[in-house]
Structure formats: structure tokens, C-alpha cells
Copies of this chain bind each other. A is one copy, B any other.
Amino acid sequence: MNREDMYQQVTAFWNGNMPFNQLLGLEITRFNAQKSEVRFPWNDKLIGNPIQKILHGGVTASALDLAGGAVVVANIIEQLPDVTPVTIQQSLKKISTIDLRTDYLRPGRGEEFIVTAHIIRSGSKVAVARMEMHNELGDHIAFGTGTYIVG
């Protein structure tokens, strides 16, 4: 199985088997080592502030964490000498978020939200990713940085 097929399988598994992502409507729409992407549509249940009708800050943090984790996993897979379901599974088991910083720039309003993640550091023990969230109009709503254990 080539790397591209493997990426698609991981994405499908991830999107179909992570309860909290499904609860929020988060979907990985791009998954590779250079750039990963998560999208989700507006939904009233994601409202944090009922007066202002904007996203809860935790929704934004969740989407950033997922996008960052995705680009980190894609990097791990790319560095595997042997890409098989077993080695991928082993890699996924080792990843966990150490810390996540979210910077909120504008109120979370829009019809769709797009989070992109880039890898900044990809070591054998620790990886760091930067994330940005925009809405469908291109408004820059948030950005963040995530540090992940990978080894």
C-alpha cells in the first residue's frame, strides 16, 4: 500500500471513530505532512455565549488540537521506514498533546470554519505544530500552537 492510500485510510478511520470530533462535527479534510486541515460547519449547539451567539472557546481549541495532531501524525508516518497498519497503529498510540496554546483573535462567527496546521518542529520525541482558524469569508478567528509527544 502506498503512502497516499495509507493517508486516506488513516483519515477515514479517524473521522469515523473519534466520538468527540463527531459530536462537534469536526472532519479532517486534508492530511499530509506539509499541511493538514480540519473543517466544521456552524451549529447552534457549539454556541458558548448565548447573548453574542459565538463559538465556545473550547470548540476552537478542540479543532486546533485535532488539526495539529493530524499534521504531526502525518509527519510520523512519513518518517516510518516501513508503512504498514501495524506500524501506523503503534505510532498513533504514542502521540499525545503536551500543551496547547490558543489565541482568540475575533468572535467565532460564520457558516463554516477551516483550521489549517503546519509542522514547525518534527523531532524523534517532540513535535510542534502551528494552527490557524478562519471562517468561510476568510476572517482570521484564531491561531494556536501545539506541542506533542511523538516517540
B-contact bits for A44-85, CB 8 A (1 contact / 0 none): 111111111001111101110110000000000000000000
Whether, in the assembled complex, A18 has its beta carbon less than 8 Å from a beta carbon of chain B, the answer is: yes
Q: List the B side residues contacting A59 at CB < 8 Å.
A: 20, 58, 62
Q: B61 near A47 (CB under 8 angstroms)? A: no
Bound-state CA distance A101–B140 (Å) is 19
Chain A interface size range: 35 or more
Choose one: B23, B63, B130, B147; the contact of A23 (CB below 8 Å).
B23
Interface hub of A21, A49, A51 (most chain B Cβ within 10 A): A49
Q: List the B side residues contacting A52 at CB < 8 Å.
A: 93
Q: Nearest chain B CB to A115's CB is how many angstroms away?
A: 12
Q: B92 near A98 (CB under 8 angstroms)? A: no
Q: A99 near B147 (CB under 8 angstroms)? A: yes
Q: What are 17 A-B contacts defined by CB distance under 8 Å?
A: A18-B48, A20-B55, A57-B61, A58-B61, A58-B62, A58-B65, A62-B62, A96-B107, A98-B126, A100-B104, A101-B102, A101-B145, A103-B120, A105-B128, A120-B140, A126-B126, A145-B145
- Which 6 A-B residue pairs are closest in the complex by CB-CB distance? A58-B62, A61-B61, A20-B56, A19-B47, A57-B65, A57-B97
A23-B23, A98-B126 given; 9 more Cβ-contact pairs under 8 Å: A18-B56, A19-B44, A24-B58, A57-B100, A61-B61, A105-B121, A120-B143, A126-B149, A147-B147
